[in-house]
């Protein structure tokens, strides 16, 4: 076998270690180099291993949270299409309550010989989670990219929306409409996107309204990323006198609208609501939801491009690529109690 590896390496102009990685189907070898090794096998009269003969570009795992939040299927679709265009086969692994954990799904994908993995809103976004799991994956030679959430402890590329900028867009819009009592409905505090949204909310409320930290903190309500969670958070914030609520997801925003109606308040006349994501079909709610649009297409394509560079042996910098969100003004925001020059017509 040693002589065979040496012959193939000489013919292909690469190291024996690279030949070994190709023959064993290991990631981390550039596509051109892999083809050179396979061509050397043909020239020297060796049969290609069956696995390599039948192989397409490879499988790529995509691990997402539950798919009830429409933003996750939307992101999965973009990533899946981008992988398919490059000749890869996406394998979607979804976490469900009481189902397989992220670690179990990762192990399953690695056992099936995936070329790489894309994690969306996984444990990397949880500040209380042990990041050693990603170091172990890296040591196994499996390339991966992490979407939504950043940890300096993980040596990998990250793809994120700018959550701080998103809050600046939402709060600035509401202040221009005359709102001075603006609430923020977000998820549990241990998640990186939540912490960043809170930072952006605090900074903009200080700059725009001159509020003290203690006053702003009273306007932040933690809940679940669900319709029920948004309803509970909005009910609490309305009880504190808020005339506008910024929500950390569109699902929470729909819950906020329900909370207003249960208290016989009209949206946007009595309560302005801003969502986050611009999920598919959200423009068709009644009234159509004002929201922060995540750049899903750009983020999904960047995640695939970055992963393929890792798989090809030309890794991208192990840093965070941050994408700017966009404010989409529709029918759930209107002039606050103080009026405001930037008011929009009420539906």
Q: Are residues 152 and 173 in the same domain?
A: no
Closest CA to 118 of 338, 344, 310, 287: 310
Is residue 178 in some structural domain?
yes
For residue 52, the model assigns a pLDDT of 61
Which pLDDT does position 51 carry in this prediction?
63
Contact (CB, 8 A) for 325 and 165: yes
* 16 plus 108 within the same structural domain: no
**pLDDT tens digits, residue range 329-344?**
999 999 987 544 433 3
Q: How far apart are CA 329 and CA 169, in angstroms?
A: 11
Choice between 1 and 254, residue whose per-residue pLDDT is larger:
254
DSSP conformational letter for 242: -
Rounded distance, CA 183 to CA 40, Å? 65
CA distance 332 to 347: 9
Let me know if residue 40 belongs to a domain.
yes
**Residue 342 within any structural domain of the chain:** no
Residue 54 confidence (pLDDT) above 60: no
Does residue 191 surpass a pLDDT of 70? Answer: yes
Gyration radius (Cα) of the chain, Å: 24
Report the first-to-last Cα separation within the chain, whole angstroms: 76
pLDDT per residue over 37-52, tens digit each? 888 887 888 877 766 6
DSSP 24: T
Kindly report the backbone phi and psi dihedral angles of residue 231, in degrees, each rounded to the nearest multiple of 5, phi listed first. Answer: -65, -45
Q: From CA 7, how far away is CA 180, in angstroms rounded?
A: 75
CA–CA dist 131, 133 (Å, integer):
5
Quick check: bond before 268 cis, omega within 30? yes
Instruction: Tell me, yes or no, whether 222 and 276 share the same domain.
Output: yes
For residues 203 and 163, what is the distance between their CA atoms, to the nearest angstrom?
12
pLDDT of res. 99: 82
Lowest-confidence segment of 134-143, 200-209, 243-252 by average pLDDT: 134-143
Domain count, the chain: 3
Share of the chain above pLDDT 90, in %: 69
Q: Evaluate whether residue 333 is within a structural domain.
A: no
Q: How far apart are CA 177 and CA 171, in angstroms?
A: 10
User: Phi and psi dihedrals of 100, rounded to 5?
Assistant: -70, 145
User: pTM (2 decimals)?
Assistant: 0.80
Tell me the average pLDDT across 162-188.
Answer: 97
CB 31 within 8 A of CB 239: no
Given this model, what pLDDT does residue 185 score?
A: 98
- E strands, the chain, are 59-64, 89-94, 116-120, 144-147, 158-161, 182-186, 220-222, 244-247, 272-277, 290-293, 320-323, 326-328
Q: State the pLDDT at residue 42.
A: 77
18 and 32 both lie in a single domain? yes
For residue 167, the domain's CATH number is 3.40.50.2300
Per-residue model confidence as pLDDT tens digits over 263-300? 999 999 999 999 999 998 898 999 999 999 999 999 99
Cis omega (within 30 of 0) for bond into 287: yes
- Residue 71 maps to a domain: yes
Helix axes 192-209, 163-176, angle to 10 degrees: 30
Identify the pLDDT of residue 166.
98
The Cα–Cα gap between 27 and 142 comes to 6
Please indicate whether residue 121 or residue 45 has the higher confidence score (pLDDT).
Answer: 121
Q: What is the pLDDT of residue 57?
A: 64
10: domain range? 2-53
9-23, 113-127, 252-266, 267-281, range with the lowest pLDDT: 9-23
170 and 260 fall within a common domain: yes
Given a cut of 80, is residue 117 above it in pLDDT? yes
CB 78 within 8 Å of CB 108:
no
For 225, which DSSP code?
S
> Same structural domain for residues 286 and 173?
yes
Is residue 92 domain-shared with residue 213, that is, in the same domain? no
């Amino acid at each position: 076998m040693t002589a065979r590896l040496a012959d193939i390496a000489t013919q292909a102009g690469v190291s024996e270690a690279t030949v070994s990685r190709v023959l064993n189907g290991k990631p981390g070898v550039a596509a051109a180099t892999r083809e050179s090794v396979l061509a050397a096998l043909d020239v020297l009269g060796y049969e290609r291993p069956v696995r390599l003969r039948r192989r397409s570009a490879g499988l790529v795992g995509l691990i997402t949270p539950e798919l009830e939040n429409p933003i996750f299927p939307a992101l999965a679709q973009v990533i899946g299409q981008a992988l398919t265009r490059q000749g890869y086969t996406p394998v979607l692994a979804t976490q469900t309550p009481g189902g397989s954990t992220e670690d179990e799904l990762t192990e399953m994908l690695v056992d099936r010989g995936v070329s790489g993995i894309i994690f969306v809103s996984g444990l990397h976004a949880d500040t209380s989670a042990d990041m050693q799991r990603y170091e172990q994956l890296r040591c196994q030679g499996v390339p991966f990219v992490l979407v939504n959430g950043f940890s300096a402890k993980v040596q990998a590329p990250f793809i994120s929306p700018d959550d701080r900028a998103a809050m600046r867009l939402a709060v600035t819009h509401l202040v221009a409409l005359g709102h001075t009592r603006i609430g923020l409905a977000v998820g549990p505090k241990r998640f990186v996107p939540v912490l960043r949204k809170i930072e952006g909310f605090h900074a903009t409320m200080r700059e725009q309204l001159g509020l003290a930290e203690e006053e702003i903190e009273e306007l932040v309500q933690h809940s679940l990323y669900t319709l029920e969670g948004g309803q509970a958070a909005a009910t609490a914030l309305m009880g504190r006198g808020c005339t506008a609520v910024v929500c950390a997801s569109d699902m929470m925003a729909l819950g906020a609208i329900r909370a207003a109606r249960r208290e016989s308040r009209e949206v946007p006349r009595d309560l302005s609501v801003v969502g986050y994501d611009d999920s598919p079909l959200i423009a068709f709610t009644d009234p159509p939801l004002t929201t922060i649009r995540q750049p899903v297409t750009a983020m999904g394509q960047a995640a695939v491009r970055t992963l393929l560079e890792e798989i090809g042996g030309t890794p991208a910098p192990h840093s965070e690529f941050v994408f700017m969100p966009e404010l989409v003004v529709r029918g759930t925001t209107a002039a606050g109690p103080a009026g405001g020059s930037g008011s929009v017509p009420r539906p």
